[in-house]
Amino acid sequence: MPPVTSPHDDGFAAFMAEASPRLAHTAWLLTGDEHLAEELVQEALTRTFLAWRKVGHRDPYAYARRALVGRRAGDRLKRTHEASHAPPAIPDPATEGGHGTVIDRDRLVRALATLTERQRRIVVLRHLVGLSEQEVAHDLGVSVGTIKSTASRGLTQLRQVLESADDGAHHPDDPSR
């Protein structure tokens, strides 16, 4: 006998198919770890499904994104933040085949790993996912002022890390080359 489904299940299945790649990309940027990103997406989608009757007619992607961001446990983040090497890149159809793009993504992931948990969340949501300051503040439960100041400090640190990486990569006497 086929499983019993409801109209809510069908709507959720369509939502999940559409939202999963975006959620996975956001989770990977937040964690820098492919497996942890997959786990966070599954948890976020589970929470969204359980609340589907309430959120399905509103903005289910925003709900799932908040669930994803909220599920980043501190101990898991410390492991990612303290890692001395960058995690493997998660495939992105938009960048497949572009060697330079893969290198840029690797540099970005390494630079993001130097940020604090809060800075990384804010920089990713604000500047890589493209949310407004108000949306990020709502997702994280902080003030817009906190978003502005933390993003500013995080971007400054990212620039410094990326510039120092550029300096090392272009130094002709670099013994590691």
Domain edges within the chain: 7-169
Closest by alpha carbon to 108, among 167, 157, 36?
157
Q: Is the pLDDT of residue 43 over 60?
A: yes
CB < 8 Å & 24+ apart, contacts of 41-48: 41/68, 43/67, 43/68, 43/71, 44/68, 44/71, 45/16, 45/19, 45/20, 47/71, 48/12, 48/15
Task: List, as one string, the DSSP characters of 67-98.
Answer: HHHHT--HHHHHHHHH-SSPPPPPP-TTTTT-
Among 18-32, 84-98, 106-120, where is mean pLDDT lowest? Answer: 84-98
The per-residue pLDDT for 10 is 63
Q: pLDDT class for 106, splitting at 50, 70, 90?
A: confident
- What's the rounded Cα separation, in Å, for the pair 130 and 53? 27
Task: List, as one string, the DSSP characters of 117-134.
Answer: HHHHHHHIIIIIS---HH
For the full predicted model, state whether its pTM sits above 0.75.
Answer: no
Angle made by CA atoms 106, 148, 111, in degrees to the nearest 5: 15
Name which residue leads in pLDDT, 12 or 57.
Answer: 12
Q: pLDDT class for 3, splitting at 50, 70, 90?
A: low
3-state class of 2 per DSSP?
coil
Look up the CATH architecture of domain 7-169. Answer: Up-down Bundle (1.20)
- What's the rounded Cα separation, in Å, for the pair 121 and 74? 12
Closest by alpha carbon to 37, among 118, 139, 109?
109
